[in-house]
A and B are shown apart, each in its own frame.
Chain A
Amino acid sequence: MLEIKDLKKAYGGDHPVLRGVDLSVRSGQIVGLLGSNGAGKTTLISIVAGLRSADGGSVRVADIDALRDRRGAARHIGLAPQELGIYPTVTVLDNLEFFARLAGLSGGAVRRRSLEVAAALGLGESLKKKAGELSGGQKRRLHTGLAVLHKPDLMFLDEPTVGADVQSRTGILDIVRSLAAEGAAVVYTTHYLTELEQLDADIAVLYEGRVAVHGSLAEVVGRYATASVALRFDGPPPALPGWRANESTLVPIEPPSDPAAAAAGALATLGDSIHSLAGVELVRPSLETAYLAITGRALTLEDDHDVVA
């Protein structure tokens, strides 16, 4: 459904953001696109959605050259951008019906599909409410819903759950699952890595302008994530060679090959400090530790915007 090859983009001519991105997403697949601040996630999505031009490479959406035929490709794409995009002064139903018509729906299908999407996102009771009067989570759900009205073949959800409450987050994840189940290819960016685990998404990590890693969640975690151990103390932890302090916790500087043995060794050298030990915690391999191993840094909430020169 989406085939990106050697995609390049630089801002101001000398600030390369994408240095040759290769990425393919097939129908029914959910791909979690990860990357830190300035990695180019939003730039990549914007290019595929026709909002920005590319400097080189190719993008095919449903076998359409999206860089040459933006409008043709757009018929297959649903985009929920990072920034909220709704008309606050008109009702929820007005918003849904407008974007349904804009996406090419007509006649009774406009109302029918609008009501379907509203119900799926838990907005059925708020149809006559002005969009500006919705709660933050409801606005986020509406924002996402506006992108799925035409049942797109390729869906981009850029940070769809930022600022969403638990109910909204669950609703959005359900929509993503059902879109994929109906055959849509979904590209999903988030800083909440547990969401990708819940979606059992495939993972693509954008790092230094390229897709550094692309594989199933199990493959990525299995290959890059490591188990570790953490010693928790009441108060400041003692200094221990090979371990670093993180507030009241000690963690190994290098990921241990045998976390239990590493913990036992550390406990044996604690001396009197063992009395302030509050607990020993086994850190299981996860997408978060895999991401850390791939990029050398954790994904934080500050990493929510591309740097655009």
Chain B
Amino acid sequence: MMSSRSLAIARSGTRLLLVDPAPFVLTILMPLLLTAFLLPATKAQLTQSGYSGATGSEQLIPGLSVLFALLGTALVGTLFFREHAWGTWDRLRASSASTLDIVLGKVAPLYAVQLLQMGVLFLAGALLFGYRPNGSVIALIVVIAVFVAMVVSYGVMLVAVFATMDQALVIGNLGGMLMGGIGGALAPASALPGWLQAVAHISPAYWALDALHKITLDHAGLADVAPSLLVMAAFTLGFAIVAGLRFRPSDAKVGTT
């Protein structure tokens, strides 16, 4: 349960996000555009892998959603670092809100926005590109919810570890691209070179994509993707622990407005 202070911070954070929705819109439009371009090639690849009747969206919609959600961790950094640039961070700290209140209040709207972004992408994928998972829709929703929690946790860890917004953005984007690429966001992990397949399991994105792949193409339900959910939860917890250990509210951070 969020405190009234957390709710106030979350409400304000939502307003700050809505004032400039461009980054959010971009993370929806870019994957949809890429899907349109890559659809024929991906369809051929899936057909070759034995999924006759696939449209290509079965790989592209989950893959690009996961990739752009990971790249969206920049948004987490933005919301935290801008507080420092605007001089409002100390005002938050001087209030009767606890550090946990502040962090929860900041990440709640980010979680909602990331969830919305993935939801819109899957919905647009269904409407525009014929994306139809043959497994459990409930499982799909749970996987997305847990994956987004992991992404937000990763973003908070970046904020805790890095002193400047630029550092967090560069490492966040690079890390997001690596995790997505290795995890099979751009091509199924099974289609990657052998040495990449061997290391794919260390990518948090792999577990999300593995679960989404099973739900989309292999008739999977919640029980089938439970192991992936557990691994994602473990990653979420791991990122949160590192963030908790490294997060110092009094640290001077350099952000840009």
Give the CA-CA distance A104 to B3 in the complex, in Å: 11
A81 touching B16 by the CB < 8 A rule? no
Majority SS at the chain A contact face: loop
Give the CA-CA distance A86 to B90 in the complex, in Å: 11
A112 at the interface (CB under 8 A from B): no
B250 at the interface (CB under 8 A from A): yes
B96 touching A104 by the CB < 8 A rule? yes
A125-173 contacts to B, CB under 8 A, are 146
Q: Contact mask B1-30 → A, CB, 8 Å, 1/0?
A: 000110111011001100110000000000
Q: How large is the interface on B (under 10, 10 to 19, 20 to 34, 35 or more residues)?
A: 20 to 34
A51 touching B16 by the CB < 8 A rule? no
Which chain A residues border B87 with CB–CB below 8 Å? 81, 83-86
Which chain B residues border A50 with CB–CB below 8 Å? 93-94
Closest residue of chain B to A73 (Cβ to Cβ) is B96
A98 at the interface (CB under 8 A from B): yes
Which chain B residues border A49 with CB–CB below 8 Å? 94
Give the CA-CA distance A74 to B102 in the complex, in Å: 15
Q: Decide: A98 near B8, CB < 8 A? Known: A81-B87, A81-B90.
A: yes
Which chain B residues border A77 with CB–CB below 8 Å? 94
Q: Decide: A90 near B96, CB < 8 A? Known: A52-B250, A85-B87, A101-B8.
A: no
B97 at the interface (CB under 8 A from A): yes
Give the CA-CA distance A102 to B91 in the complex, in Å: 10
Max chain A Cβ within 10 angstroms of own Cβ: one of B7, B94, B96, B257? B94
A246 at the interface (CB under 8 A from B): no
B93 touching A87 by the CB < 8 A rule? no
Max chain A Cβ within 10 angstroms of own Cβ: one of B5, B90, B257? B90
Give the CA-CA distance A89 to B87 in the complex, in Å: 13
Give the CA-CA distance A85 to B86 in the complex, in Å: 6
B141-180 contacts to A, CB under 8 A, are none
Contact of B96 among A74, A86, A94 (CB under 8 A): A74
Give the CA-CA distance A158 to B90 in the complex, in Å: 13
Give the CA-CA distance A101 to B15 in the complex, in Å: 14
Closest residue of chain A to B5 (Cβ to Cβ) is A102
Give the CA-CA distance A77 to B96 in the complex, in Å: 9
Report the minimum CB–CB distance from A114 to chain B (whole Å): 13
A235 at the interface (CB under 8 A from B): no
Q: Contact mask A59-76 → B, CB, 8 Å, 1/0?
A: 000000000000110110
B48 at the interface (CB under 8 A from A): no
Which chain B residues border A81 with CB–CB below 8 Å? 87, 90-91, 94
Q: Contact mask A288-307 → B, CB, 8 Å, 1/0?
A: 00000000000000000000
Give the CA-CA distance A101 to B9 in the complex, in Å: 9
Give the CA-CA distance A92 to B31 in the complex, in Å: 36
Which chain B residues border A86 with CB–CB below 8 Å? 86-88
Which chain A residues border B88 with CB–CB below 8 Å? 85-87
A75 touching B94 by the CB < 8 A rule? no
A236 at the interface (CB under 8 A from B): no
Instruction: A98-B11, A101-B7, A102-B97 given; name 18 further pairs at CB < 8 Å.
Output: A51-B93, A81-B90, A84-B87, A85-B87, A86-B86, A86-B87, A87-B86, A89-B19, A89-B20, A90-B12, A94-B15, A98-B8, A98-B15, A101-B11, A103-B96, A104-B4, A104-B96, A106-B4
Give chain B's interface residues, CB within 8 Å of chain A. Answer: 4-5, 7-9, 11-12, 15-16, 19-20, 86-98, 250, 257
Give 21 A-B contacts (CB < 8 Å), ordered by A residue.
A51-B90, A51-B250, A71-B96, A72-B96, A74-B94, A75-B96, A79-B91, A81-B90, A85-B90, A86-B86, A89-B19, A89-B20, A90-B19, A94-B15, A98-B11, A98-B15, A99-B91, A101-B5, A102-B8, A102-B95, A102-B97
